[in-house]
Amino acid sequence: DLNPSMAEQAYRVYEKAAKDPRCILPKLISDLGLKSVLVLSTPEQVELGQRVVKLADSKAVGIYSRATMHTPKHITEEALATAKDKQADGIVSVGGGSTIGLGKAISIRTGLPHLAIPTTYAGSEMTPILGETENGRKVTRRDPKVLPTAVLYDVDLTLTLPARMTIHSGINAIAHAVEALYASNSNPIINLMAAEGIKATSEGLSALKKDANDSTARYNTLYGAWLCGLCLGAVDMALHHKLCHTLGGMFDLQHAETHVAILPHAIAYNASTTPEAMKSIAKALPESDGDAIRGINALYRRLDIDVTLKGLGMPEEGIANAADIATQNSYKNPSPLEKNALQELIRRAWAGEATL
């Protein structure tokens, strides 16, 4: 659903920008036909947001810096009021999935063009998906109009991502590709992209574990995350994503970390019914000896991952309720969704126990 002439313009800007990187942002904004963009950031990245305002030159009308996780509707309403007040004709979101999510929420309600500048590996910029939270429930929709109008990747912006967040965000990316490999509507191209996404991201993360400032590894990880984000946007996700969204919305858990806690368990839950996907995952991960679960566990060991749902603040009493809600809405998953098995999956991820 992208406007081809906009895409052509973006390519032209990019070619010119290779000669003078400072001109990318203002040129891209004006080539998108915008004169008064509102820049979005989180409170933690307000300085970066202000840099973007400065770089956008006279084409930015201000910044809204209260973007927050899981796109709560009251924040969207506040940002919408700011956009209206400042008569913004476009949105520039600079940050992770939270900020890009807010850009999507504004864009779908107003029709304003949205330029996304991602700084994590979450991949939201590549998807037509928007998850919004109200009263502890996260509701997700897929609509081509949610896709940002243009995306600007700059590896340098990922260099400030703290070491632990880097790893957690990268695993979040890998989760998209894992579920794409067993999606009911997957296809051979997506399978290739997913396998390459897992390989590039896991190799990038292993190098970043040794040196978080390794710019080649940052490049490879962002490349992998881009592929994984494309997979997330192209095909249906299953148990892993549904569970993470349920848990995130119910207990306000950190997004990437929730994915980290659940992923090995979700892979194990679906392993027996998805042999081809498991082969691809195993092939993409070193030290797997042909076994996807062994491969993901080895990756977690290499990256020193020890995230549990308990550590993220989920109450133990919430486990049964979460399993209930996760089975209430029907969705396609390779293995049948059984409440007791799901409850055990969540309990293991909560306690930090090994996969079944």
Q: Closest distance between ligand NAD and the C-beta of residue 231, in Å? A: 11
Residue 263's nearest CA partner among 235, 236, 229, 299 is 299
Q: Which is nearer to ligand NAD, 69 or 92 (CB)?
A: 69
The amino acid that residue 218 corresponds to is R
Please name the residue that has the structure tokens 């007791």: 340
Q: Which is nearer to ligand NAD, 112 or 122 (CB)?
A: 122
Bridge partners (DSSP) of residue 94 are 117
Q: Does 202 bind ligand NAD (CB under 6 A)?
A: no
**What CA–CA distance (Å, rounded) separates 338 from 336?**
6
Q: Does 197 bind ligand NAD (CB under 6 A)?
A: no
Q: Does 288 bind ligand NAD (CB under 6 A)?
A: no
Eight-state DSSP code of residue 132: E
Among 107, 149, 158, 191, binds ligand NAD (CB under 6 A): 158
Q: Are 130 and 101 in contact (CB under 8 A)?
A: yes
Q: What share of the chain is helix, strand, coil (3-state, %, to 5)?
A: 60, 10, 30
Q: Does 114 bind ligand NAD (CB under 6 A)?
A: no
SS3 139: strand
Q: Closest distance between ligand NAD and the C-beta of residue 184, in Å? A: 18
Burial class (CB within 10 angstroms; exposed 0-12, middle 13-18, buried 19+) of 272:
exposed
Q: Closest distance between ligand NAD and the C-beta of residue 95, in Å? A: 5
Q: Which is nearer to ligand NAD, 17 or 159 (CB)?
A: 159
Q: Which two tokens stand for residue 329?
A: 């809405």
Binding pattern to ligand NAD, positions 240-269, x when CB under 6 A?
---------------xx-------------
Q: Does 119 bind ligand NAD (CB under 6 A)?
A: yes
**What CA–CA distance (Å, rounded) separates 24 from 122?**
23
Binding pattern to ligand NAD, positions 29-68, x when CB under 6 A?
-------------x-xx-----------------------
Among 49, 72, 90, 96, binds ligand NAD (CB under 6 A): 96
Q: Are 200 and 231 in contact (CB under 8 A)?
A: no
Total site size for ligand NAD, rule CB under 6 A: 31
Beta-strand pair 129-134/114-118: unpaired
Residue 44's nearest CA partner among 212, 172, 165, 138 is 165
Beta-strand pair 129-134/90-95: unpaired
Question: Contact region for ligand NAD (CB under 6 A) — 157-165, 185-193, 265-273, 318-326?
Answer: 157-165
Q: Which is nearer to ligand NAD, 160 or 355 (CB)?
A: 160
Other residues' Cβ atoms within 10 Å of the Cβ of residue 38: 27
Question: Contact region for ligand NAD (CB under 6 A) — 77-85, 156-164, 207-215, 218-226?
Answer: 156-164
Q: Which is nearer to ligand NAD, 47 or 316 (CB)?
A: 47
User: CA dist 168 to 108, 198, 256, 277, 304, Å?
Assistant: 28, 14, 6, 22, 11
Q: Does 166 bind ligand NAD (CB under 6 A)?
A: no
Q: Which is nearer to ligand NAD, 146 or 285 (CB)?
A: 146
Binding site for ligand NAD (CB under 6 A): 42, 44-45, 69-71, 95-99, 101, 119-120, 122-124, 127, 129-131, 157-158, 160-161, 165, 169, 172, 232, 255-256
